[in-house]
Amino acid sequence: MCGIVAYIGHQAAYPIILKGLKRLEYRGYDSSGIALYGNQIESYKKKGRVSELESWDSPILQEAHAGIGHTRWATHGEPTDANAHPHQSNSGKITLVHNGIIENYASLKAELIQKGYTFKSETDTEVLVNFIEDIQINNNSTLEEAMRIALKRVVGAYVIIVLEEGYPDRLIAARKGSPLVIGVGEGEHFLASDASPIIEYTKSVIYVNDYELAIISKDDIILKNLGNEPVTPYIQQLDMELAQIEKGGFDHFMLKEIFDQPASLTDCLRGRLDVSNLTLTLAGVDQHLSVFTQAKRIIMVACGTSWHAGLIAEYMIETICRIPVEVEYASEFRYRDPIIHPGDVIIAISQSGETADTLVAIERAKEQGAFIFGVVNAVGSSIARLSHAGAYTHAGPEIGVASTKAFTAQLTVLAMMALKIGKAKQSISEEAYKHYLTELSQIPEKVQVILSGHESIREVAQVYAEANNFLFLGRGYNFPVALEAALKLKEVSYIPCSGYPSGEVKHGPIALVDETLPTMFIATKDKYYDKIVSNIQEIKARKGKVIAIVNPDDSAIRGVSDHVMEVPETDELLAPLLTVIPTQLMSYYIGVLRGLDVDKPRNLAKSVTVE
């Protein structure tokens, strides 16, 4: 939630910050703003997209070599110019951008109002900047010390970056619970919520940890904890390339990322699945294999699309490993006082590795003795660092807010984990193990086959682009695909959608069926196939429109469906990796046909770093 960019160095700060905010706009796009330090600090902020900032006309745009920027996903206060960041203290001496939520802002605000402070916005951020100033004045302290004192009293999550009048060659940043990365250059430094605004300028980065302050000039970076003790910066090298965060000729990032999947799945399998020898290497699992084989229970904790990947993995692990699996919404798990035993394995699934609810959930599970395994895409992310072990999905940057390639990469990692553990437990035969590895190795090529038929899916989308409702149904491994398909379509088209197990259609959803309701069945050949045929007949008997995802040799379902989409055959355990692709394309095309911005759906942000 929200994107932050800052720069200090020898170049003009404005174009660097503006370009960085555009790259972070998937994190929030309700409003945006920039503060620059030339002869003094000047700010410009507007409701709407980052492009609104291009109307700023001031000499400072060429003069300033230091500045901070922000693109907002509204939490406190509706999207307005006044609520946009940056925010200034009452004196105007301190200017601040903030990602996160200050939970005790109301009591702090009341305290400040009693002291005579006034507020121009509805935000918790303006409270924070004035709280810092009040401490600085009353303690006659430096800004750094005032921030340290203030942040010890603040409840909530934050990344803040601060400019102070009189100090044109310095930025001060701090974090707790929200991500911050510093790009290390020659005579310049870059700060951002993730690496995408930085990669164009440097691959050397420092990931700031919770409860750390960074004092940054163009030539130096000093890290300290809130106890004022120095922290040694750890510089890492990014493996991201600039081309990965560009559209590459596609109209939208979402479409590019759907079409990335043959390559992203190949990258996910590379170095892990040896097709010639039919062996599997997963370092994070290999190093802790006994933890998994002796586990009495595995709990998967995730949100949104990642939760759907966990549901499919539940089927996989219970089938292959014979270990009980629970799949929890992180936002519920963190509050319901779950029963955790030492030796339980918690698998945290998150594209960004920064999902606030998931982070808190695994922190609490870790305190109770659970073993934490992270499945994340973002290298160096908070979940990756908090986990005992993990596996990166190697999907590459995902800019579109609606997750596509991250989902299939997560599912691929989880499938490999299930196979690795099952083989070690001998709960799967050698023959079955090799069969699954062979099938898994062929998935990228089969995804490419589906993508080559994207025009036929677009034609189906044209038929249903004006639908007022949508129903998605599947069984077994494909039931969570129905949930994911419903989520994806509602995210990018704003059409109300529901996903259900096909067997539940008679227990309520069938009341929705009439001649105007499109129903999509995920209906590939598996042990549920005959049941799916019967379910389709039930919908057709009530004049419902049926779209079916089928295998090429299907005739029974093809004969009773209004439209079909083909996917190659594979083992039913791996079928979701294929059946989800047509649903992604269908969602994309319907969103575009409805004239919507599929990369930046309303009210949504890519990385949910606040509660």
- Report the sign of the C-alpha dihedral through residues 303, 306, 308, 314, in that order: negative
497 is catalytic: no
Helix axes 576-593, 479-493, angle to 10 degrees: 20
Within 13 A of 496's CA, how many CA atoms are on the CB side? Answer: 4
160, with CB counted inside 10 A (0-12, 13-18, 19+), is buried
| Given 2, 268, 303, 497, the catalytic residue | 2
Strands 31-37 and 3-8: unpaired
Residue labelled with tokens 């250059």: 185
Question: Left (φ > 0), alpha (ψ -120 to 50) or beta: where does 347 sit?
Answer: beta
d(CA 468, CA 511): 15
DSSP 183-237: EE-SS-EEEESSSTTTTTT-SEEEEPPTTEEEEE-SS-EEEEETTS-EE---EEE
d(CA 325, CA 310): 10
Query: Which structure tokens are listed for 137?
Result: 């004045």
**Phi/psi of residue 100, nearest 5 degrees:** 135, -170
d(CA 422, CA 316): 10
d(CA 36, CA 168): 9
Strands 371-376 and 345-350: parallel
Long-range contacts of 109-115 (CB under 8 A, 24+ apart): none
Q: Which of 568, 553, 560 is nearest to 533 (CA)?
A: 560
Query: Which structure tokens are listed for 149?
Result: 């004192």
303 is catalytic: no
Residue labelled with tokens 């990692």: 413
Residue labelled with tokens 């603040």: 154
- CA distances 311 to 258, 471, 521, Å, are 21, 19, 18
Q: Which of 575, 589, 461, 465 is nearest to 525 (CA)?
A: 575
Q: Which of 532, 519, 525, 536 is nearest to 475 (CA)?
A: 532
**∠ CA 251-252-253, rounded to 5°:** 140
Strands 189-192 and 3-8: antiparallel
| Given 256, 420, 545, 606, the catalytic residue | 606
DSSP 21-36: HHHTGGG--SEEEEEE
Q: Which of 357, 351, 362, 450 is nearest to 410 (CA)?
A: 351
Q: Which of 70, 61, 54 is nearest to 13 (CA)?
A: 61
Query: Which structure tokens are listed for 499?
Result: 């996903």
Catalytically active residues are 2, 606
